[in-house]
Structure 1
Amino acid sequence: MAPVITLYSLAAPEKSNLRADQPILANETILLAVQAIVSARLINILIGYSDPQQIFSLLPLFESGGVDFLVLHPRTVLQEYKGLADHGITTRVVQETGLPVIANGDVRTVEDGLRVLEQTKAAGLMLGRGAIADPLLFQRLRAGRPDQPERAARAAMLRHYLAGLLERYQGIFCGEQQILGKVKSVFATMDDPDFAKQIKGLKKARTIRQFADLVVQLT
């Protein structure tokens, strides 16, 4: 797997150990980080701290530093997940750099993914919350099939997914409440109305056994 340099904090020098009044220092630090990687270099970045245009001042650094891929999430640090990812900026970045750009942000359905690829002409997609909510999204995107699976298939996928998370998290985290809290955190990404009532019940589960029993009952 290629090393990944995530520059969320470097996009916001005033919030890190890079001083905002020393842009040359910030630029040199970025170049050193990129050049320290001797194999494929992939940059994962937001478009800026508060200024959505900040990304355009960084493109020459990435190009001169030998970056191979750029993964772009078109939100600012201050924006967090509020509002919509501005793929108009992704489009401009694709147009203004020779680097392959991977579009990230608000790809929740096959339709979203195909639209973003068509709009931006990006080299590919990175999925985050959309894939957490729908692990089969990768498969349907590759096939170019926007059709949503039938309820029974989605229920089977959800049972398999939640049971797998529960099993793995029991080997990673300690304490029943911490494990349940980590598993339940994925529900923030799920908005399928067909399972809203059952997910509400899962959120109220107080023990791992109760949660596991409710997962089995998902239909």
Structure 2
Amino acid sequence: MPKLTEVSKQSFDVQTANILRETIVSGGLEPGSRLVEAKLTEQFKVSRGTIRAALQKLHGEGLVVQTPYTGWHVIAITAHDAWELHNLRRVLDGLAARLAAEHIDTEGRKRLEAAYQRLCLTCTGNNQKAIANADFELHKLIVVLSGHSRLQEHYMLIEQQIRVFIASCDDQYADYGGIGLCHEPLVKALLAGDGDTAEQLAREHNSTQGDALISRLRLPEQRIA
């Protein structure tokens, strides 16, 4: 268990959940790691009820699971989980890109260009966590720019799992600079207001890395079977 920041007594379950979430998404806790309530209570200096509430929140986000008799564990994405997320992202991101391209205004273009530049700048370094976060924030902005409130609500339900998925896909790039470059055609289509192209590119985005991740996860599962 990595050393986590102690939570102030005023923070309670939300602050505890925030720290645990970032630790899980950034890979600070290995998939399948056991989360012991007593240890977390001591480490965070909060009550058992606060820890329980934080874990329930993360359970709702799909980041932790509770198994009878063994307790809480960090989610370990299976090949089927990755397949579901990959295909669901294609649908949601495709629709979001089309709508964003069709409705983008001057302010939206500025925000999109700024987010893309942040991603490209971040990719010049070797901070995988920062790259994955910048990657996710760009895609989340496209969903926001769609102006579709119900689409945004559905995206929020799985956004933490999507962050884990994006981080896993980004991990497969030999050169992190390629992560920024692969977003360029999509960003150009959005800035040009080309809904058809934006939707197609968003649906195809990271398909190679997504398929490779699914195949990689299937290997140990096939050995067990």
TM-score calculated relative to the size of structure 1: 0.35
Whose Rg is larger? 1
Q: Which has the higher strand share?
A: 1
Q: TM-score, normalised by structure 2?
A: 0.35
Structure number with higher helix proportion? 2
Structure with larger RCO (C-alpha < 8 A, sep 6+): 2
